[in-house]
């Protein structure tokens, strides 16, 4: 297995490191732009400097370990020449027909069912389920315990809050946030925050 850099020294980084270790990867270093963190450790791994330092390594492999979707997008666009790898925890259940984009992480206990497609730099968090034929865009975060029924579409940058749900066939527009515990019973437009059951925009 290759050596990997983890970009992000927060709590999300701890879960990414745990996933990589469970897969058998060696985490070379954690990198973070907050210089106050340099020299500290995350899950026993030294925070060795800013994220741009990854480019000093020859043919580096890395994962962006930041939970905020827009921040992940900015980092991915800023840092070029990196092999963004995907990571799937061994306890996750991923059907062989599912496709997972570069930089996407699937955490412990998650389930990805047949013919679902996950874009790049996404997060399928602990215990989340993605049923058959879902289409998950780039920079999406499906929070812990979220359940997506079959043929759900989450466009780029969607955030599905902890314990939220979506019924079959609905679409959530780009950069929309669905609040914790909300239930999506119909299509939602982009760039809104929706809460409740049924999920409705609050702004």
User: What are 57-79's pLDDT values in tens digits?
Assistant: 888 999 999 999 999 999 999 99
User: For residue 20, what are its two tokens?
Assistant: 């990589």
Residues annotated within a binding site: 32-33, 67, 141, 162
Cβ atoms of residues 92 and 106 within 8 Å = yes
Side-chain-side CA neighbours of residue 73 (13 Å):
13
CATH (residue range 88-192): 2.160.10.10
pLDDT of residue 58: 84
Collect the ranges in the chain with pLDDT lower than 70. 1, 203
pLDDT of residue 37: 97
Helix, strand, coil % (nearest 5) of the chain?
15, 30, 55
Contact 187, 99 (CB under 8 A): no
Which one is the CATH code of 3-84: 3.40.50.20, 3.20.20.100, 3.40.50.300, 3.30.300.90?
3.40.50.20
Task: Point out the residues that are catalytic.
Answer: 132
> Would you state the pLDDT for residue 47?
97
Annotated binding site for substrate: 32-33, 67
Per-residue confidence (pLDDT) for residue 16, from 0 to 100? 98
Per the annotation, binding residues for acetyl-CoA are: 141, 162
Q: Domain coordinates of the chain in residue numbers?
A: 3-84, 88-192
């Amino acid at each position: 297995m290759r050596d990997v850099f983890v970009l992000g020294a927060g709590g999300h980084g701890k879960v990414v490191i745990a996933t990589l270790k469970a897969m058998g990867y060696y985490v070379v270093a954690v990198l973070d732009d907050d210089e106050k963190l340099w020299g500290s450790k995350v899950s026993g791994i030294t925070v060795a400097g800013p994220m741009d330092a990854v480019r000093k390594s020859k043919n580096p492999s890395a994962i962006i370990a930041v939970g905020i979707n827009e921040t992940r997008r900015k980092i991915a666009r800023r840092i070029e020449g990196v092999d963004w790898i995907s990571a799937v925890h061994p306890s996750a259940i991923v059907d062989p027909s599912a496709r997972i984009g570069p930089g996407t992480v699937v955490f412990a206990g998650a389930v990805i069912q047949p013919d679902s497609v996950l874009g790049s730099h996404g997060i399928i968090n602990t215990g989340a389920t993605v049923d058959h034929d879902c289409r998950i865009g780039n920079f999406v975060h499906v929070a812990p315990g979220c359940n997506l029924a079959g043929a759900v579409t989450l466009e780029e940058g969607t955030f599905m809050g902890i314990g939220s749900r979506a019924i079959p066939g609905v679409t959530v527009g780009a950069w929309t946030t669905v609040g914790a515990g909300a239930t999506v019973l119909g299509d939602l437009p982009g760039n809104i925050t929706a809460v409740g059951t049924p999920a409705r925009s609050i702004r």
